[in-house]
């Protein structure tokens, strides 16, 4: 009899319902920030950045609300990562985000990102919103 070995999960399965086509308002929501090198927008050291941030979170005994992590593509060569935290994290680049954020969920291969961005741009215009900054 063959047994299946269950791989440990890093985080809970994503539930899109609370995020898809929703407007979320934050007032000084806590995050820690790190950078990822990208090659033509493709992340290269994403796993290393996530491990760095997670280590700092664990050492500070902080939590990660909703397991939320955002990325901001700042150029073809790098992106910023924002990991939600429930308190200040020692040794991390602590920051906050405030404002209203329109959310839309997409699922599929990375190569579809351009199509999703066009769809998101149209969805925001259809709702009368203006994109000031985009996080993924």
Tokens of 49: 């950045």
Q: What is the pLDDT of residues 46-81, one digit of tens each?
A: 889 999 999 999 999 999 998 999 999 888 889 999
Tokens of 88: 């200040």
Give dist(CA 13, CA 34) in Å, integer.
23
Give dist(CA 116, CA 54) in Å, integer.
28
Q: What is the pLDDT of residues 81-109, one digit of tens each?
A: 999 999 999 999 999 999 999 999 999 88
User: Within 13 Å of residue 57, how many CA atoms lie on the same side as its CB?
Assistant: 22
Q: What is the pLDDT of residues 14-33, one digit of tens each?
A: 889 999 999 999 999 999 99
Q: For 13, which DSSP code? A: P
Give dist(CA 116, CA 98) in Å, integer.
24
DSSP SS3 for 75: coil
Average pLDDT for the chain: 90
């Amino acid at each position: 009899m063959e047994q299946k070995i269950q791989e440990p999960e890093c985080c809970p399965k994503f539930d899109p319902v609370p995020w898809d086509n929703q407007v979320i308002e934050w007032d000084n929501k806590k995050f820690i920030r790190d950078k990822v090198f990208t090659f033509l927008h493709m992340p290269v050291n994403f796993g290393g950045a996530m491990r760095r941030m997670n280590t700092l979170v664990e050492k500070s005994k902080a939590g990660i609300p909703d397991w939320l992590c955002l990325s901001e593509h700042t150029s073809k060569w790098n992106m910023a990562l924002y990991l939600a935290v429930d308190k200040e994290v020692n040794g991390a680049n602590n920051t906050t985000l405030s404002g209203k954020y329109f959310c839309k969920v997409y699922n599929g291969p990375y190569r579809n990102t351009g199509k999703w961005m066009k769809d998101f741009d149209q969805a925001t215009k259809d709702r009368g919103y203006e994109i000031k900054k985009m996080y993924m």
